[in-house]
Amino acid sequence: MIRAESLTRRFGDNLAVDSIDLSVERGEIYGFLGPNGAGKSTVVRMLCTLLAPTSGSASVADLDVSDHPGEVRLAIGVALQEASLDPKMTGREIITTQGRLFGLRSTEISKRIDELAPLIDMNAIDHLVGTYSGGMRRRLDLAASLVHNPSVLFLDEPTTGLDPPGRLRVWEEVRRLNRELGMTVFLTTQYLEEADTLAHRVGVIDHGRIVVEGSPAELKRSVGDDVVVVKVAGDSDRVAEVLAAVPGVDRIERYEHEVRAVTKDGGRALSPVAVALDRAGCVVDELALRTPTLDDVFLHVTGSHLEGGDT
């Protein structure tokens, strides 16, 4: 649904996007994860025909973005990083203008407003956008991007600046669009948790290059194994012995008051560990599963932590 080959963009001497290859399948939610200035927005703007690539090519919905920008625009919905709204228009005027420019009839536009009602604050739809809160604005911006039922949706940092409930609402909506309408979603984010929970596949971008790509689970597995952490007050030798005997545990690491069982699949190992400890009569203060996060992935591939990450 989205392809890019050696997609590159320079601003003067600044190589903002450095020869990126992308391939996003129909019905996929693709998360583009990277720190400030990594080049996320620049990629989005090239894919949605706002910015011309310096070199390389890209296609969206099987249409080349440089050769058929008009057709690409019919197929995509875009919510840019900053909600792109006119504060001196009402919510209804924004949606209506958007609908008209996408060739919809008035009856179709009213129908779409009804369908998009969960996103739009219907009480405020006839108020000027300038009076909206940040969260209302973002949701209206998302609604405006969806008026024409696009088959591909681009979201540039859709939840930056939202409070946790607002973020959850956007996640829910993105999942629903993807599940019920099969919409392909390309979203950028600085939030590890967002990429992790929402995206089927994640591309990590840093300094204009994709440094690693894969499903969140694959990526995390690639940087290290899961660890079952057991905190003990008493006899840690006994605990270590018991843990070592549990099937699936590859290695034991010991620290003061803490024994760690390293395993490929922590989820599967957790209950055998608990059962074994219980049978052996070990008294345990705390039993926890620690899995690698996307931040570990980022650290592993770039050597630095992802700023703004919240997980």
Partner 1 sequence: MSQPITARPAGFFRDVGSVAIRALQQLPRDLEFVLPALAVPTFFLVVNIGALQDVAGFTELEIDYKAFQLPVAIIFAVTGISRASALVLDIQDGYFDRLLLTPVSRRALLLGLMVSDFVLVLLLSIPVTILGFAIGVRFPTGVLGVVVFLLMGASWGVAFTGFPYAIALRTGNPSAVNASFILFFPFAFMTTTFLPLESMTGWLAEVARYNPVTYLLAGLRSLFVGWQFGELAKGMIAIIGLGIVSQTLAFSALKSRIDGR
Contacts to partner 1 by CB under 8 A = 48-52, 70, 73-76, 78, 80, 82-89, 93, 97-98, 100-104, 108, 111-112, 128, 144, 148-150
Q: Which does 36 bind (CB under 5 to 8 A by kind): Mg ion, partner 1, ligand ATP, none?
A: ligand ATP
Residue 11 β-bridge partners? 14
CA distance 275 to 174: 40
Residue 159 C-alpha from the chain's centroid: 10
Do the bridges between strand 209-214 and strand 201-206 make them parallel or antiparallel, or are there none, so unpaired? Answer: antiparallel
Please, which residue, 39 or 77, has the CB nearer to ligand ATP?
A: 39
Q: Residue 136: which of 90, 179, 102, 98 has the closest Cα?
A: 90
41 binds Mg ion (CB under 5 A): yes
Please, which residue, 81 or 151, has the CB nearer to Mg ion?
A: 81
Q: Which does 223 bind (CB under 5 to 8 A by kind): Mg ion, partner 1, ligand ATP, none?
A: none
The dihedrals phi and psi of 157, each to the nearest 5 degrees, come to 45, 65
Paired tokens of 214: 């894969």
Please, which residue, 184 or 190, has the CB nearer to ligand ATP?
A: 190
Please, which residue, 42 or 236, has the CB nearer to Mg ion?
A: 42
Edge-to-edge strand list for the sheet holding 226-231: 249-255, 258-263, 226-231, 286-290
Least distance in angstroms from the C-beta of 12 to ligand ATP: 7
Please, which residue, 17 or 76, has the CB nearer to partner 1?
A: 76
Least distance in angstroms from the C-beta of 231 to ligand ATP: 38
CA distance 104 to 148: 8
3-state helix, strand, coil split of the chain in percent (to 5) is 40, 30, 35
Paired tokens of 8: 């590159």
Q: Which does 121 bind (CB under 5 to 8 A by kind): ligand ATP, partner 1, Mg ion, none?
A: none
Please, which residue, 51 or 297, has the CB nearer to partner 1?
A: 51
Which among 75-83, 123-131, 238-246, 253-261 is the span making contact with Mg ion, rule CB under 5 A? 75-83
Q: DSSP 3-state assignment of 163? A: coil
Q: Which does 84 bind (CB under 5 to 8 A by kind): Mg ion, ligand ATP, partner 1, none?
A: partner 1
Please, which residue, 82 or 193, has the CB nearer to partner 1?
A: 82
Please, which residue, 96 or 145, has the CB nearer to Mg ion?
A: 145
Q: Which does 291 bind (CB under 5 to 8 A by kind): ligand ATP, Mg ion, partner 1, none?
A: none
Paired tokens of 152: 């591909």
Q: Which does 42 bind (CB under 5 to 8 A by kind): partner 1, Mg ion, ligand ATP, none?
A: ligand ATP
What's the full length of the chain, in residues? 311
Paired tokens of 106: 């008035």
- Contact positions vs ligand ATP (CB under 6 A): 11, 14, 16, 34, 36-42, 81, 190
Q: Residue 222: which of 297, 272, 151 has the closest Cα?
A: 297
Residue spans of alpha helices (H) in the chain: 40-47, 69-75, 91-101, 106-115, 134-146, 164-181, 192-198, 216-223, 236-244, 266-279, 294-302
Binding residue (CB under 5 A) for Mg ion from 19, 54, 66, 81: 81
Q: Which does 74 bind (CB under 5 to 8 A by kind): ligand ATP, Mg ion, partner 1, none?
A: partner 1
For binding to Mg ion (CB under 5 A), which residues are involved? 40-41, 81
